[in-house]
Amino acid sequence: MTQSSRAHWLPGLLLAMALATAALVLGEFPFIRDTLHLGALLLVILLGMALASLAILPDLVVPGIRMAQRPVLRWAVAGLGFRLSLGEVLQIGGRGLAVVVVSAFGSLAFGWWIARRLGVPEKLGILLGVGTAICGASAIVAADTVVQAEKRETAVALGVITLFGTAGIILYPWIGRMLGLGDQVFGIWDGASLHETAQVVA
C-alpha cells in the first residue's frame, strides 16, 4: 500500500472510526443499554444513516467509507468468530447445535419462500432472511457487501429486524409464561429466534 493510497482512504476511515467510537460510548449509557437494548453495532448504523441524511458528505471521505464498507467490514465479521472458542461450541452440546443449525437453515429457507410468495424484491428478501436466521443487523450489513442491495432495501431490512427484535423483548417473556416454559427451554427458544445478543439477554 503506497503512501498516497493510505492518504486517499484515511479521511473516510477516520470518520468511520469516529462513528464507531461514538456508538461504543453511547452503548454504555444505562438508558440505551438497559432500556432500549441497543448494541453498538445498531447504534453505529443509525449514526451513519443520520449523518448521511442530514449532511452532504464531502468527496474526500468517500474512498475511505467504501474501504470500510467492503474489506474492513469483511475482516471485522470474520473477527467475530474469534470471540467463540471451539470449547464453547462443544459445551453447547449436540442438541443445542442441532437447534442452531435447524433454526438457521429453516429461517433462511422459510424467509426465501415467503419473500417470493409475497412478491418481496429478491435482494430485500435475502437480507431479511439472513438477518432473521443469523444475527440481525450485523448479518444484514455483512450480507449486503455481497448482495449489493439498494440503500432503501438495506434500510428497510434493518428497520424490520430491529422492530421485530424489540417486539420480541416485550412479548417473549409473556408468551413463555403463558406456555409454562422452563428456564432452559425458554432460553433455547429465545436465543434461537431473537436476532441480537442484547435482545436475548434482555
pLDDT for res 195: 67
Q: Which three cell numbers stand for residue 90?
A: 462443544
pTM of this prediction? 0.62
How many residues are recorded in the chain? 202
Q: Which three cell numbers stand for residue 150?
A: 439498494
Spans of all domains in the chain: 1-83, 85-202
Contacts of 72 by beta carbon, 8 Å cutoff, 6+ apart: 13, 16
Segment 157-184, tens digit of pLDDT:
888 887 887 787 778 878 888 888 887 7
- Count CB neighbours of 53 within 10 A: 8
Q: Is the predicted pLDDT of residue 43 greater than 60, yes or no?
A: yes
pLDDT for res 19: 92
Sign of the Cα torsion 41, 46, 48, 49 reads positive
Of 25 and 164, the structure prediction assigns the larger pLDDT to: 25
